[in-house]
Amino acid sequence: MIKRILPLVLLALALRPALAQDPYLAEFVEISIYHDARPGEFIFRADTGRYHVMAGEERVAKLKQGQAIFVNIEGGKAHLFTVKKDLGWFTALDFVGQRHTNAFTLKPSRDESLIRQYDDDLRLHMPNDSAHWLINRVGLPNYLAGVVKAESGVNAEYEYYRAQAVLARTYAMIQLRKRASGQAYDLIDGVGHQAYKGRNDPARYTNIARAVEDTRGLVVVDQADQPIEAVYHSNSGGQTANSEWVWAADRPYLKAVDDPHSTTESNATWTQTIEFDAFKEYLLGQGFTITDQHKAEDFAFRQPQRLEYFRFGGDSIRLVKIRAQFSLRSTFFDIIPESGKLRLNGRGYGHGVGMSQQGAMNMARQKTPYNEIIKFYFQGVKLVDLSTLGTEFSRFTQDPPQRGWWKTKRNKR
């Protein structure tokens, strides 16, 4: 018996990774999912692997592949039950994967369009009676693949996916640095940070998974070797914008560049008509001097190149404020008075700073390497490995977390 067992023990010891640090902590980020919707009722289904449902130190349920559990959040507590058993009410819950690969589906009630699949773990954070967050605790490579898929779709060129993966990783690092003390998550899943709608199926969309792996650890840094604000938008309309035109920060690597690669893409142009009276009233509210003698024709406005301000007489207002007020696709527009109204002929889609995604896709179709795409849109930058940036990001330079065959504290619960 001993002779049969000993080789297995030795094999397990040989394969076991060093546990100088908890491998469960390496390379994980915490994402607030459904951040704007925050469903209070949903079904959790284990799709791959197995899950333990933990209430603090107590394991309250085990889910095999294909098994589901119901969750109803009310008054700062979560009601947990199956079709056969009421498991009770809890103030905190963790759905912890137990295998090397774990994935789950969330099905919010009343809205099938929100059904999504995620990698790794789920945590319910319910700090008080009126607030709750669903937090996906996910390995960084899995998160990045999900971001690339959500931001780019599944039909882009491989070099574009590599560029997007590097920028998504860099952006995530900056947000991790900004995480406030006591904040329950690192990033949100919407456009306030990066779009993230769950997992990328690596077997189905291999180019996305491979792009994340092939650029593993790479980030973009400025001339001071600090990670940049790796922002991007849908389409520049032919010219990107200076960062200070949109936000307060003036970044030397975020300066306007002429971008012919974006001008033939689907979001290159747009048209919108607004009422002259509505525009006039808005400007009056912003302190502009406008009289009854001023007509629509007086408000003609041209942008052969991107500008920061709309000016009328001696008054001015930042174009980003006009964009927000009238829900415009971009700040890059001309105003053409027409039959007492104002027709806006616009270019581009989004804030216009950093990389134009459609322009980058076009460059990738022209066989431009991903690093050259990045350097076209960000001036004076270079690509480096996270390991060169010191200890601040060292947990993201470790091997991906492995689970299932050792007994960590989590798995013993």
The per-residue pLDDT for range 324-381, each reduced to its tens digit, is 999 999 999 999 999 989 999 999 999 999 999 999 999 999 999 999 999 999 999 9
> Both tokens of residue 315?
């008054």
Confidence of residue 6 (pLDDT cuts 50, 70, 90): very low
Distances (CA, A) of 237 to 153, 213, 264, 329: 20, 31, 9, 11
Domain range annotation of the chain: 28-138, 269-347
Helix, strand or coil, per DSSP, at residue 346: strand
Q: In this structure, are residues 144 and 169 in contact, taking their beta carbons and an 8 Å threshold? A: yes
Cα–Cα distance measured from residue 138 to residue 141, given in angstroms and rounded to the nearest whole number? 8
Distances (CA, A) of 332 to 63, 168, 186, 314, 318: 52, 25, 32, 21, 12
Length of the chain (residues)? 413
Is 116:197 a contact under the CB 8 Å cutoff?
Answer: yes
Residue type, 155: N
Specify the amino acid at residue 356.
Answer: S
pLDDT digits (tens, 9 = 90+) for 20-29: 333 333 478 9
Phi then psi dihedrals of residue 31, to 5 deg: -115, 125
Instruction: State pLDDT tens for residues 247-305.
Output: 988 999 999 999 999 999 999 999 999 999 999 999 999 999 999 999 999 999 999 99
% pLDDT > 90, the chain: 77
Radius of gyration of the chain (CA): 25
Hey, is 185 helix, strand or coil? Answer: coil
Report the predicted TM-score, pTM, of the whole model to 2 decimal places. Answer: 0.86
